[in-house]
Amino acid sequence: MRKGILTIAAVGLLTTGGLTACGDDSGDKAASAKTPKIGVILPDSKSSARWETADRRFLEEAFKAAGVKYDIQNAQNDKTAFQTIADQMITGGVTALMIVNLDSGTGKAVLDKAKSQGVATIDYDRLTLGGSAQYYVSFDNETVGKLQGEGLSKCLTEKGAKNPVVAYLNGSPTDNNATLFKAGYDSVLKPKFDAKEYVKGPEDAVPAWDNAQAATIFEQQLTKANGKIDGVLAANDGLGNAAISILKKNKLNGKVPVTGQDASTEGLQNILAGDQCMTVYKAVREEAKAASDLAIALAKGEKKDTGQTVKDGDRDVPSVLLTPKAIYKDSVKDVIADGYVTKEEVCTAAYTKFCAEAGIS
Ligand code: BGC
Which pLDDT score, from 0 to 100, does residue 206 have? Answer: 98
Q: For ligand 1, say whether the CB of 329 is within 6 Å of any of its atoms.
A: no
pLDDT higher than threshold 80 for residue 13: no
Ligand 1 near 236 CB (within 6 A): yes
Query: Cβ(128) to ligand 1 under 6 A?
Result: no
Closest atom of ligand 1 to 44 CA is 12
Model confidence band, residue 152 (pLDDT cutoffs 50, 70, 90): very high
Residue 148 pLDDT class (50, 70, 90 cuts):
very high
CB of residue 50 inside a 6 A radius of ligand 1? yes
286 C-alpha to ligand 1 centroid (Å): 16
In angstroms, what is the span from residue 92 Cα to ligand 1's centroid? 28
Q: Which residue has the higher pLDDT, 330 or 23?
A: 330
* Section 126-138 average pLDDT: 98
Higher pLDDT, 35 or 41: 41
Cα 95 to ligand 1 centre (Å): 26
Which atom belonging to ligand 1 lies closest to the Cα atom of 144? 8
The minimum-distance atom of ligand 1 relative to the CA of 261 is 10
Q: What are the start-end ranges of the E strands in 195-354?
A: 199-205, 231-234, 279-281, 302-304, 309-312, 315-322, 325-327
253 lines ligand 1 (CB under 6 A): no
Which residues, in sequence order, are bridge partners of residue 204?
Answer: 169
Mean pLDDT (the chain) is 92
**Atom 6 of ligand 1: nearest residue by CA position:** 177
Residue 164 contacts residue 200 (beta carbons within 8 Å): no
pLDDT for residue 86:
98
**Closest listed residue to residue 71, CA positions, set 42, 28, 34:** 42
Could you give the CA distance from residue 56 to residue 235 in angstroms, rounded to a whole number? 22
For the stretch 259-288, what's the b/e string if a residue is b when 16 or more beta carbons lie within 10 angstroms of its beta carbon? bbbbbbbbbbbbbbbebbbbbbbbbbbbbb
Work out the average pLDDT over 283-294.
98
Q: Is 262 in the pocket of ligand 1 (CB under 6 A)?
A: yes
Kindly state the average pLDDT of the residues 141-147: 98
Q: How confident is the model at residue 103, as a pLDDT?
A: 98
The pLDDT value recorded for residue 11 is 34
- Cβ–Cβ < 8 Å for 327, 334: yes
Decide: 209 in ligand 1 pocket, CB within 6 A: yes
Protein residue whose Cα sits closest to atom 3 of ligand 1: 48
* Distance from Cα 335 to the centre of ligand 1, integer Å: 18
Q: What is the pTM of this model?
A: 0.91
Could you tell me the distance, in angstroms and rounded to a whole number, from the CA of residue 51 to the centre of ligand 1? 9
Mean pLDDT, to the nearest integer, of 109-120?
97
Please, what is the Cα angle at 121 between 119 and 126, to 5 degrees? 155
Report the pLDDT value the prediction gives residue 224, as an integer from 0 to 100: 96
pLDDT at 142 over 50: yes
Please give the number of the atom of ligand 1 that sits closest to the Cα of 236. 10
Which parts of 225-303 fold into alpha helices (H)? 237-249, 265-272, 284-299
pLDDT at 32: 59
Residue that wins the pLDDT comparison between 168 and 26? 168
Check pLDDT > 50 for residue 18.
no
How does DSSP assign 151-189, residue by residue? Answer: HHHHHHHHTT-SS-EEEEEE--TT-HHHHHHHHHHHHHH
Tell me if 124 CB under 6 Å of ligand 1: no
- Which candidate, 115, 39, 108, 118, places its Cα nearest to that of 74? 39
Using an 8 Å Cβ cutoff, are 351 and 269 in contact?
yes
**What integer pLDDT is reported at residue 301 of this predicted model?**
86
Q: Please tell me the least confidently modeled range out of 149-158, 294-303, 339-348.
A: 294-303
Q: Which of 179-183, 225-229, 301-305, 309-313 has the lowest mean pLDDT?
A: 301-305
Say if residues 230 and 164 touch (Cβ distance below 8 Å). Answer: yes
- CB of 126 within 6 A of ligand 1: the answer is yes
**Mutational pocket test of ligand 1: of 144, 261, 287, the residue with most ligand atoms within 8 Å of the beta carbon:** 261
